[in-house]
Amino acid sequence: MKDLSREFRINSLKNKIDLGDWDPDDTSSFKESKKEGLKDVQKLRKELGNLQKVLYAEQKHKVLIILQAMDTAGKDSTIDLLFEGVSPAGVRVADFKTPSEEEKAHDFLWRIHKDVPRNGEIVIFNRSHYESVLIERVHSLVSKKVWQERYSEINDFERMLHNEGTLILKFYLNISKKEQKERLEERQRELKKEWKFSPNDLPERKYWKEYINAYADAISRTSTTWAPWYVVPSDHKWFRDLIVGDAIVGHLKNLKMKYPKLDKAESLEQIT
């Protein structure tokens, strides 16, 4: 398994992508079985845990992982599975829900900027500043002029983070409407999952096409060399985790991180 996630990376574009060209059920880039895929996910999880330890020790880089998706696509599950074996030191999840009155009184990036990672830290955004060009657009919470200007503002914000040493990876978990229906029904049937079901989930399905169009615009306008988007097939949970894990591990390896070395002479002098 090498660079499996590459074909799902969106390079900087001049034209808008069509998400209809990206099959949520796709596993074709992985030639082995689901069983082998799950084994590879476990390997990636172990690698991620080791890389995070070096990241935290080196205190040189910052990592921001952004997860966006339609409901039930698996943002929480992806975080839980891939980061299960990672030390809680230096890893944090920020979950952005409906803005508070204080947050709405500031610019749309104010609440986001407070949660960006520090040196040696991985921060995972479970939803993010992209809600401001998704739900606020679909439900006309702001004018067209406002949300259109936000694409360039987001690019400038992410470029600034990148220039300050932040690795930014953005994942759109691409689920089909059919698969979402099945997962919503599963949430209603199973006691352990019904707490996840929200009465708002069903009305939001009526805006499916509007959301897909908004996602296509957001990805097309903000996938950059410094903050790339990945469109991840997510109808198969194991393949979703495989692609996300492969991308994160690959980028962390490219940082060429090393454990810092102590000056042995100085350290020995301090031992009495």
Dump pLDDT digits (tens) for 49-63: 999 999 999 999 999
Dump pLDDT digits (tens) for 82-115: 998 788 889 999 999 889 999 999 999 999 999 9
The full set of domains in the chain, from first to last, is: 4-254 (3.40.50.300)
CA distances (Å), origin 243, targets 5, 36, 78, 168, 266:
5, 14, 10, 16, 45
The torsion of the CA quartet 94, 19, 224, 52, rounded to 10 degrees, works out to 40
CA atoms of 227 and 169, how far apart (whole Å)? 6
User: Could you tell me which of 12, 101, 76, 91 has the C-alpha nearest to residue 241?
Assistant: 76
Q: Whole-model pTM? A: 0.93
Dump pLDDT digits (tens) for 150-168: 999 999 999 999 999 999 9
Helices (H), the chain: 34-58, 75-82, 101-104, 110-113, 135-138, 144-163, 177-189, 201-205, 208-222, 237-254, 264-269
Residue 265: pLDDT over 70: no
Tokens read off for 226: 């410094």
The pLDDT of residue 191 is 60
CA atoms of 255 and 51, how far apart (whole Å)? 10
Helices (H) and strands (E) in the chain, counts: 11, 6
CA atoms of 120 and 256, how far apart (whole Å)? 14
Worst-scoring range by mean pLDDT, 2-16, 152-166, 210-224, 232-246?
A: 2-16
Tokens read off for 272: 């009495």
Dump pLDDT digits (tens) for 175-204: 999 999 999 998 888 665 655 666 777 888
CA atoms of 129 and 260, how far apart (whole Å)? 34
Three-class secondary structure of residue 256 per DSSP: coil
Mean pLDDT value across residues 36-55: 96
CA atoms of 146 and 148, how far apart (whole Å)? 6
Residue whose structure tokens are 């932040």: 166
Q: What is the chain's alpha carbon radius of gyration, rounded to the nearest angstrom?
A: 20
The pLDDT of residue 2 is 65
Tokens read off for 126: 């479970």
Percent of the chain with pLDDT over 70: 92
Q: What is the average pLDDT value for the chain, to the nearest integer?
A: 92
Residue 66 main-chain phi, psi, to 5 deg: -115, 125
Residue 116: pLDDT over 70: yes
